[in-house]
Amino acid sequence: MYIQDQLQEIRANIAAAEKRAGRTPGSTTLLAVSKTFPVSDIMQAYADGQRLFGENRLQEALEKIPAMPTDCEWHIIGPLQRNKVRKTLEAGVTLLQAVDSSKLAAAISRIAGELGITARILLEVNVDGEESKHGFTPDGLQEEWDALVALPNLDIRGLMCIPAPTATAEGARPAFVHLRRLAEELRARGPLPLPELSMGMSHDYTVAVEEGATIVRVGSAIFGKRDYA
Ligand SMILES: *Cc1c(COP(=O)(O)O)cnc(C)c1O
């Protein structure tokens, strides 16, 4: 079974990377990125014990969530439009990983308040400062930090990044180090513990684990090549 073999290999690679880095065994969570893959594939991962899945687009998540067992947990890892925040929170998504602006954070805060819940989010950081990319710049996040922390009904769990593609996994290391250091600086400022660092994908997740990722987002290494047709 391809998917189950892949999952087992990835779990072993994560455990080995935790060991190399002197981290607590099991301190990294594997998020299976199931975007574009059918429920039959996701069920294979489920059968191998995988419970946490990530989707980019709300529409696709809304189709898959009811089709999968209820003990699955779902994160939205793609850019979120403000007009989709309410539906996303109502769908029972447990973490919005790609909150990329104060405007979006404020909208989530307001809607979570209307729904009577606390929304768990990560703030997306544009660590390599590419103009075209989503996310807070590291300086911008420092500047907006006090205002972000003051927003009600939000549980800001940590930071995430999607670095520019690199030729080798090692090439992504500086971006991961950058995100980790930024989280350390923000923790030092207080008042949030910021336990989560979401970084690393199929190509570079072992390097991300070495640099302190608590969530790695792995898609194609589990499910195979994506077909966007
Ligand atoms: C698609 C996607 C991933 C997974 O990418 P793979 O290279 O298939 O592992 C991770 N994070 C985000 C934000 C994505 O959009």
The residue contributing the CA closest to ligand 1 atom 6 is 219
Domains and CATH numbers, the chain: 2-223 (3.20.20.10)
> What would the pLDDT profile of 114-136 be if each residue is shown by its tens digit?
999 999 999 999 998 777 778 99
Contacts 24+ apart (CB under 8 A), 218-222: 218/10, 218/30, 218/31, 218/32, 218/33, 219/32, 219/33, 219/34, 219/35, 219/37, 219/54, 221/6, 221/10, 222/3, 222/6, 222/7, 222/10, 222/32, 222/33, 222/45
Ligand 1 pocket test, candidate residues 77, 96, 124, 227, most atoms within 8 A of CB: 77
Alpha carbon nearest to ligand 1 atom 12, residue: 77
- Segment 43-53 shows an average pLDDT of 98
Q: How far apart are CA 105 and CA 119, in angstroms?
A: 10
- Of 68, 60, 71, nearest in space to 39 by CA: 68
> Rounded distance, CA 9 to CA 149, Å?
39
pLDDT tens, residue by residue, 201-211: 999 999 999 99
pTM of this structure: 0.97
Residue 183 has pLDDT above 90, yes or no: yes
